[in-house]
Copies of this chain bind each other. A is one copy, B any other.
Amino acid sequence: MTVSRALSNNPNVRKETKDAVIKRARELGYVKSAAATAMRGERTAIIGLLLPNLVNEFYARFADSLTTCLERCGLQLMIFLTNDELRKECGALMKLHELQAKAVVMVPTPGIQADQEQYLGDLQVVQVIRTRGDKANASVILINDEKPIKQAVAFLTSQGHSRIAYIGGSPVLSSGASRLAAFSQGMMENGLTLKPDCIITDMPSFSMGFQAAEKVLAQGRMTAVVCGGFEISNGVLNCLLQRDVRVGKDISFIGYGDPSYYRWINNGISTIKLPVLKLAEKTAQIVGNNSDLYKKETIRAEVHAELIFRGSSAPAAGNLQGL
């Protein structure tokens, strides 16, 4: 018992005893068993992170930033890849429950909530980027991209574009729905008609973006494209480049997310830049919060995206002349 007290720096131990214990412990290479600590009911210093994947640079950067932010609180991230499958999400939550994780930070998969409550035990939940209703007492941090999306449409309009395509995530995702809404509103506000064939949405992925871009090109009527999804944006851009479409001339392009190479493609890719670091900081703040108070107050927060102008969003002239 004295040993225990010495190691946890309890004042009720003679200094000499304490020093001796600590010294010997070091000699023996003692490390406190996380398992024993956890078994006494305390939470583990583990935070689960559920992401669709790590190949998406946005997710990778988020994971990187969050790891760093949490390290300061002595918390460790355990990453689970869901591939946007509900089944995997459930599996991950169950494991975290078993591990008595302190909290989960998750990009919810599109499926239905079901009685996931069961899996969660009493661990704290933070939904990021997307949300799946408020039923669960989960905190939510979203990226507000309404303004930059509207700005994108307004700018393109001011450059003479009127046939603007939108390629984004499915509206079954909360993020997909809000981005699409922003685009639609933007079109209305600028007096443009919102034809159904100028909007393509689906589960977001590189290949989805690629294929959507092929469709848009096949139509041959659009003079500009706005993207509403990180991997989608990459897919669309890759399609355009592969087809030798002169981005910024034949067609104007506004991407979503800002992978480092967007600066260097052609004259730069205009895009909606996402505040990754701020998102991570806010998340860490909620999760790392030593809520001695068992307040399960659920927080709702937003971080703001920003439109970056580069060469890919140019006047429509070149293209309109061609029509």
- A: which residues have CB within 8 A of B? 29, 31-39, 44, 46, 53-55, 57, 60-61, 63-64, 67-68, 71, 76-81, 94-95, 97-100, 118, 121, 234, 237-238, 241, 259-261, 263-265
Contact = CB atoms under 8 A, between A and B. Distances in A.
B98 A34 contact: yes
Contact of A98 (B31, B60, B61, B234): B31
Contact of A32 (B32, B36, B57, B98): B98
27 contacts: A29-B121, A31-B94, A31-B97, A33-B98, A33-B100, A34-B35, A35-B38, A35-B39, A35-B99, A38-B38, A53-B64, A54-B63, A54-B67, A57-B57, A60-B60, A63-B79, A67-B81, A71-B81, A76-B78, A78-B78, A78-B79, A234-B260, A238-B263, A261-B264, A261-B265, A264-B265, A265-B265
B261 A118 contact: no
The 9 A-B residue pairs with the shortest CB-CB distance, nearest first, are A35-B38, A261-B261, A54-B64, A60-B60, A35-B39, A34-B98, A241-B264, A34-B99, A35-B35
A32 B98 CA distance: 6
Nearest to A264: B241
A29 B118 contact: yes
Contact of A100 (B34, B63, B68, B264): B34
A66 to B, nearest CB: 10
A237 B264 CA distance: 10
Contacts of A60: 54-55, 57, 60
A80 B263 CA distance: 30
Contact of A39 (B33, B97, B100, B264): B33
A71 B29 CA distance: 31
Contacts of A64: 53-55, 81
Given A35-B39, A61-B55, A264-B265, A79 B67 contact: yes
Nearest to A40: B35
